[in-house]
């Protein structure tokens, strides 16, 4: 057997174990998340400066999970999710991906597709235009799914003042 065959078999075993785990078979409910006890709805703002496209794809699976989790969906009020990008993360929001090469470019393209789907799912996406200027991203290349705000910190603070929980993704 080749090393790549071993890796494939190991991955299949891991997937099978995860799918058959007791927590995977348990229906999603507030009992699985004691923190949701008594919560009427989950409002979250993600404060994102993560600039690595591969890591962004990994982390954003979890971010989507917050919005899409069945336990969150079972709450009386639907989830409200906002994502505010600043710092180096603004490079991931550009259609000009010339900075990214090889696998990183593929990951950046995948991330853009994820953002498009998130916008279609009703998630608010905002970019700090101050960061766009400082980082040197051409504003005309920003993805159309992303709403522009002058200062992303004001957006994060505003969402927090509205009762959104803040999650930092540095």
What domains appear along the chain, each with residue ranges and CATH number?
Answer: 28-169 (3.40.1260.10)
Q: Which residue has the tokens 């999603």?
A: 28
Give every strand in the sheet of 80-85, ordered side by side.
147-149, 124-128, 80-85, 43-48, 165-169
Q: Which residue has the tokens 């639907």?
A: 78
Residue count of the chain, please give it. 170
Instruction: Say if residue 12's pLDDT is above 90.
Output: no
The per-residue pLDDT for range 51-92, each reduced to its tens digit, is: 999 999 999 999 999 999 999 999 999 999 999 999 999 999
Spell out the residues 6+ positions from residue 153 whose beta carbon is closer than 8 angstroms to its own. Answer: 86, 128
- Please tell me what DSSP assigns to residue 41: -
Say what the pLDDT of residue 32 is: 83
**Residues 158, 161: Cα–Cα separation, whole Å:** 5
Strands 43-48 and 80-85: parallel
Predicted confidence band of residue 1 (pLDDT cuts 50, 70, 90)? low
Spell out the residues 6+ positions from residue 47 whose beta carbon is closer than 8 angstroms to its own. Answer: 84, 86, 152, 156, 166, 167, 168, 169
**Would you say 119 and 60 are in contact if contact means Cβ atoms under 8 Å apart?**
no
């Amino acid at each position: 057997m080749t090393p790549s065959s071993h890796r494939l078999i190991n991955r299949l075993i891991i997937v099978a174990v995860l799918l058959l785990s007791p927590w995977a078979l348990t229906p999603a409910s507030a009992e699985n998340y004691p923190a949701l006890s008594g919560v009427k709805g989950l409002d979250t703002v993600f404060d994102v400066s993560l600039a690595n496209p591969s890591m962004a794809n990994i982390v954003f699976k979890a971010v989507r999970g917050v919005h899409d989790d069945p336990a969150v969906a079972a709450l009386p009020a639907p989830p409200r999710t906002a994502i505010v990008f600043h710092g180096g993360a603004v490079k991931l929001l550009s259609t000009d991906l010339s900075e990214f090469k090889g696998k990183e470019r593929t990951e950046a393209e995948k991330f853009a597709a994820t953002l498009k789907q998130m916008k279609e799912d009703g998630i608010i996406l905002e970019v700090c235009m101050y960061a766009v200027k400082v980082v040197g991203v051409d504003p005309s290349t920003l993805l159309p799914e992303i709403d522009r705000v002058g200062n992303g910190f004001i957006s994060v603070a505003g969402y927090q003042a509205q009762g959104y929980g803040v999650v930092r993704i540095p």
